[in-house]
Structure 1
C-alpha cells in the first residue's frame, strides 16, 4: 500500500495544501487524474473545487467522486484517491452507505490505488474512528473504518498548555481513556506533519515541507501505548505496523 496521511490540510495563515505540495507532487508522480472524496463536508461541489484548485500546482487533476455515475467502479480504476477533512462521522457514514469504504479498502490494499488523506481522511485509515476529535453529528453504521493501518491515529494532536486554566480534558487524557478500554497504539500527529506508509512495509512520520506549526512537544508525532509512557517519535515508525492490537479488552 502507498499512503500519504496529513494531520491537517492547511497550516495557520496558509492556503489549503500549500505547505504540502512537494510531498503531494512526489507521492502522486505519474498520476495526472485522481478522485477526490468530499463526503466529510456538506457542500461536495464547493469542496471539490477548492481542493482541485489546491492540487493543480502539483500537476494533478481532481474530480469529485460524488459526480461519478458508478462511484465504486471509479474507485476500483483510480490511480489515486484523495480523502479530505471535515467531520469524520459524516465521512464514514457516507462511505458505508455507498459501499465505498469496502471499495477504497480493496483498491488501496491491492496496491493499484494510492491514498492521500488529511484530517478526517487520515482518521479513517485506522481500524476505527474511536480516536477522532470530531463531534458525532451523525451516526454511522459502526465505528469500523478502513483498517489500512493496524493502529489508531489522532490527527491535529495538541499538547496540553501548562499555563492554561481550562478544566476540561486534554487530548492526552482522552487518548489515555481510550487505552483503558483498548490495547491499541495511538499515533498523535501534530499540526504540520504527515505519516507516509510505503508499499515496502515502511512507515515514517515527518514534518511537512520542512515547516511545522507545532510549538510544543519533542517531535512530529507522539505514540501512546497502554501502561507505558508516551513516546516522542520522528522518522521511522515501521514497528507500529507489526504491533498486536486488542480492542475492547
Structure 2
C-alpha cells in the first residue's frame, strides 16, 4: 500500500526547516524509528553530511533518527531495509543524475509501492511524477533520463507561483512554462503552492494544506482545486 507525502517545499515563510509539516510527519512516520535520508539534491551545493545534519535537527523534534544513504556501502540494501524514506529538495537534475548513477530509482519505486513510507519535498517531490520535466531548476548536470519514479500518474511543479500583477518582470510565468510543456507532453501537471502537499494512500491522492492547487491538463483550461480534493482521477 503506497503511503506518500509529496510536499511543495521544506520551509514556508520564516519558519524552521520542515516546521509546518512536523505534526503531520509525527503521525506519518509513527511506525518508524529511523528514516533513510537521500541528500543527493544538495541545495546550494552543500555536502551530503551538512544536509543530513540539517535534516536531523528537524526530525529530532519528533524523536526520529535520520540516517544518510551516503553512509552505506550497499545502497540498494539500505533502500530495501529502510523503515521510511525522505528525499529532500535542492536541484532536481543533480538528484536524478545521482539516483540513475547509483541505480536506485527502481529500488525506491519497488519499496514505496510495497508500503515503505516516503516523504518528498521540492526535488524529492518532483521525482514522484512521471518525469522531472516540470522542475524549476537549472540543468547544471545532465541525467541519463528525465524519467522518474512514476508513483503518481502525472507531473508535479513544486513552488508554483502565480503571476504578480504588480511586477515589472515581463518574462515567462510558471503557467506559460507548463503550457509549453503540454505542447510536447500530455500528462497532467499539478502546480503545488508553498505549504501544500499531496497525500497518497494506495491509489487515493488528496490535496492537503491550506491553499488551492492549480491543475493543468492537456488541451484544457487550467483550473483551481480546493484543499482535501481527491485528485485520483488525474492521468
Indicate the SS of the match to 1:58.
coil
Distance 2:180 2:231 in 1: 25
Q: Provide, for residues 39-62 of structure 1, a one-character-per-residue CA deviation record: whole Å limited to 9, x for no partner.
A: 000400000000011111122111
CA distance in 1, matches of 2:92, 2:72: 22
TM-score by length of 1: 0.90
> Which of the numbers 226, 229, 232 marks the counterpart of 1:236?
229
1:156 is paired with a residue whose SS is coil
Aligned to 1:189: 192
Partner of 1:4: 5
- Find the counterpart in structure 2 of residue 89 from structure 1: 93
> Distance between the aligned counterparts of 1:222 and 1:187, measured in 2?
6
5+ unaligned residues in a row in structure 1: which ranges? 213-218, 244-249
Q: What RMSD, in angstroms, separates the aligned Cα atoms of the two structures?
A: 1.1
Residue 205 of structure 1 corresponds to 207
**TM alignment of 1:215-234, pairs within 5 A:** 219-234=211-226
Matched, 1:176 2:179: yes
Match of 1:129 among 128, 132, 138: 132
Bigger drift between 186-195 and 225-234 goes to 225-234
- The aligned residue for residue 69 of structure 1 is 73
> Partners in 1 of 2:105 and 2:218 — Cα distance?
29
- Uncovered stretches (5+) of structure 2, i.e. residues with no partner: none
1:238 Cα deviation from its structure 2 partner: 3.3
Q: Do structure 1's residue 141 and structure 2's residue 139 form an aligned pair? A: no
**Whole-Å separation in 2 of the counterparts to 1:149 and 1:237:** 13
Matches of 1:40 and 1:221 in 2, distance apart? 24
For 1:44 and 1:83, locate their aligned partners in 2 and report how far apart those are by CA, in whole Å: 12
Q: Could you tell me how far 1:236 is from its partner in structure 2? A: 2.6
1:101 deviates by 1.1
Measured in 2, the distance between the counterparts of 1:237 and 1:151 equals: 14
Cα distance per residue 1:42-101 (max 9 Å; x no partner): 400000000011111122111000001211101011111000000000000001000111
